Structure 1
Amino acid sequence: MTRRMSPETRTVTVLVGVVVTMGALAWAAVPFYDWFCRVTGFGGTTQVAESAPDQVLDEVVRVRFDANVDKDMEWTFRPMQTSMELKIGEPGLAFYEAVNNSDVAITGTASYNVAPEVSGYYFDKIECFCFTEQTLQPGERIEMPVSFFVDPDLVKDRDAGWVRDITLSYTFHRTQPKQAALDAAPAGNVN
């Protein structure tokens, strides 16, 4: 003899199932979105490559450089060049400067994108300071390189083939909460 669930028990079971499913989907959304952006270049997400291609086209693209810091980041961060012209497929090397203006060590990571967004699939980074966390000691100044190229397949793309100006933009975010940095600072060395 099987026992039937009451309507209240069935409703609670369905609602718990919905909550668990929604929680699982919310948990998976961020890594899935990140993967989707990396694969497709959606939202101006750039690609990562081992090396520049063998093919260099006789067409020039201008890359502009932009830098920003999150409001809680006590750094000065700027590109060391405002723009660079290079042939499509040719490797480029640009530098950014960061200065820690505080009296405590600060660790940060850079988020990045390119504009127009449609060029993200064709903008490849070989090496970049944005691949790892950066820690600057109080008053420290560093120059950080980014090695990149624009994939020659850009010119064949029906939607992106017109792009000849690309803006590479970085925003540095503090990865260690400000209070944790203050707690870790030696006595007498507080903002």
Structure 2
Amino acid sequence: MFFSGGKLYYNQVGSSTLRSLWFSPDSGIVAPNPKTVTSSVSFANVGGMFVSGDQLYYVNRTTGDMYRVSFSGGVVSGSPTLVNGPSTGGVDWRGRALFLGNPPANERPTATFTSLCTDLECSFDGSGSADSDGSIVSYDWSFGDGATSTDPAPSHTYAADGSYEVSLTVTDDRGARARRPGPCRRPRRRPTRGSSGRTPRTPASRRTRR
């Protein structure tokens, strides 16, 4: 049994259908006439269920496996997906109480990167960034000259010598962000032969004796 959108949803042992009743938590009043829910799944062997977002999670009382299936607008649709259970070396969910609790607070990710410059060409690597309770899903670079990149390990060529502030912003799988400003880049083009600005010296002419 679960509550969603002002209705109680439940199944009966041996019945393949999911039923619903209007319910008011404030008054405790339950409507008398149940309705059959449109469903692509048989609920004959369902032993427990709950809703999270637009997904209905339920346990197969025969195998102990937990599945999820799309649940939107009071309709169960699509094919179920195995989440966890004995068949995958996971938990046997038979006899366990199922309820949806408050998720733990999301930990912010950590942004970090390395860089290496040769002349005006610089390579960056942000793969050392991490998220302790999830994963990094996006990288946003600013190279300080108006150029940007979304690659984890980009390369960039500067148009001129100078000082550039580089920064990396990472986003985790729950939307938290972290920004890491880097030291100023000072790419220097290597001088080419003859570019020192000095006037070449020519050997002095030998004096001839009379």
- Is TM (by shorter chain) over 0.5? no
Would you tell me which structure has more helix in proportion to its own residues?
Answer: 1
Q: TM-score, normalised by structure 2?
A: 0.25
> Of the two, which has the highest radius of gyration?
2
